[in-house]
Structure 1
Amino acid sequence: MTEALLVIDYSYDFAAPDGRLTAGRPALEIEAALVEKIRNFHEAEKPVFFMMDIHQEEDPHHPETRLFPPHNIAGTEGRELFGRVKDIYEEIKDAGHVFFIDKTRYSAFAGTNLEQLLRERGINSVVLTGLVTDICIMHSAVDAYNRGYRITVPASCVASFNPDGHTFALEHFKNSLGATVE
C-alpha cells in the first residue's frame, strides 16, 4: 500500500487561540501528534500534502462568506501554517515529496490537482489530519472514499470547534466510509 499524508487547514485562523475561526484548545492539543506524524512521513520519504484553505475578503460568490466569519484570507497571517506545524513545514518544504496546495472549498480534492498528484505517485491510501474534523476533514474523506482511496484518520491528529460534530465525524469515517480511525 502506498500512502500519503494530508495536513488540512492547520492555519493560524483555525488553530491559534485568537484565530478568526479557531478550533481553540482542541486544535492546540493535536499539534504534537500532528508534527510527529509529519516527521514520520517525511523521514520515510512518503508524500506530505499541506492543503490550505484560501479566501478573498468579502467574496460575495463564495458560499462560506454567508456561513462563517472571514478566515484564511489571502495575504494575511490567518492563512499561514500555525505553530510547530509551520516550523516543520519550513524545515522540510524543499524535499521532493512535500507539497503545499491552496484549496477554495472544504474538500482537499475540490478544484485542486491533489488527485492527479496522488495518482502520478501510485498513492492508494490517504491519511487525513488537521482541522476541522466535521467540515474539511469530513468532506475530504467523502471525496477520497468516492475516488477509491483507503482512508486512515488518526484521532489524535484531527480536531474541531464542535465536540459533537467531531465525535459524529469519527464515527462516520468508520461506519460509513470504512476508514481506519486510530
Structure 2
Amino acid sequence: MNNALLVIDYSYDFAAPDGRLTAGTAAQAIEAALVEKIKTSHEAGTPIFFMMDLHFDDDEMHPESKLFPAHNIENTNGRELYGEVRDIYQQIKDAKNVFFIDKRRYSSFAGTPLHQLLLERKIDAVTLTGLVTDICIMHTAVDAYNLGYDIIVPSDCVASFNEPAHEMALEHFKNALGATIEP
C-alpha cells in the first residue's frame, strides 16, 4: 500500500485558544501526536499534503459565511499552521515530498489538485489528520472513499469542537467507509 499523509486545517484559527473558530483544547491535545506523525512520515519519504482552508475577507458568496464566523482569512495569522506543526512544516517545507495546498471547501479534494497529485505518485491510501473530525476530515474521507482510496484515521491526530460529533465521525469512517481507525 502506498500511503500519503494529509494534514488538514491545523491552523491558528482552528487550534489556538483565541482562534476565530477554535476547537480549543481538543485541537491542542492532538498537537504532539500530529507532529510525531509528520516527522515519521517525512523521514520515511511519505508524501505529506498540508491542506489549508482559504477564505477571503467579507466573502458573502462562500456558503460557509452563513454557517460560521469568518476564519482562515487570506493573509492573516489565522491561516498559519499552529504551534509545533508550523515549526516542523518550516523545517521540511522545501522537501520534494511536502506540499501545501489551499482549499475552498470542506473536502481536501474539492477544487484542488490533490487527487491528481496522489495518482501521479501511485498513492492508494490516505492517512487523514487535523481538524475538524466531523466536518473537513469527514468530507475528505467521503471523497477519498468515493475515489477508491483506502482510508486511515489515527484517532489521536484528529479533533473537533463537538466531542459527540467527533465520536460519531470516527464510527462513520469505520463502519460506512471501511476506514482503519488507529488508536
Q: TM-score surpassing 0.5?
A: yes
Match of 1:92 in 2: 92
Distance in 2, Cα, partners of 1:32 & 1:129:
12
> Quick one: which amino acid aligns to residue 110 of structure 2?
A
Question: Pairwise mapping of residues 67-86 of structure 1 onto structure 2 (< 5 A)?
Answer: 67-86=67-86
Q: Secondary structure at the match of 2:74?
A: coil
What pairs with 1:21-40 in structure 2 (closer than 5 Å)? 21-40=21-40
- Secondary structure of 1:137's counterpart equals helix
Q: Distance in 1 between matches of 2:148 and 2:61?
A: 31
CA distance in 2, matches of 1:95, 1:77: 23
Deviation at 1:57, TM superposition (A): 1.2
1:141 corresponds to 2:141: yes
Distance in 2 separating the partners of 1:86 and 1:21: 18
Distance 2:92 2:73 in 1: 24
In 2, the alpha carbon distance for the partners of 1:94 and 1:56 equals 26
Task: State the 1:150 CA deviation.
Answer: 0.1
Residues 46-94 of structure 1: CA deviation (Å, up to 9, x unaligned):
1000000000112111000000000000000000000000000000001
* Structure 1 residues without counterparts, runs of 5 or longer: none
User: Unmatched 5+ residue regions in structure 2?
Assistant: none
Q: Which residue of 2 aligns with 1:117?
A: 117
Q: Among the aligned pairs, what percent are the same residue? A: 71
Partner of residue 10, structure 1: 10
Runs of 4+ in 1 over 2 A off after TM superposition: none
Structural RMSD (CA) = 0.3
CA–CA separation in structure 1 for the residues paired with 2:164 and 2:56: 30
Residue 43 of structure 1: how far off its partner (Å): 0.1
Query: For residues 41 and 122 of structure 1, what CA distance do their matches in structure 2 show?
Result: 16
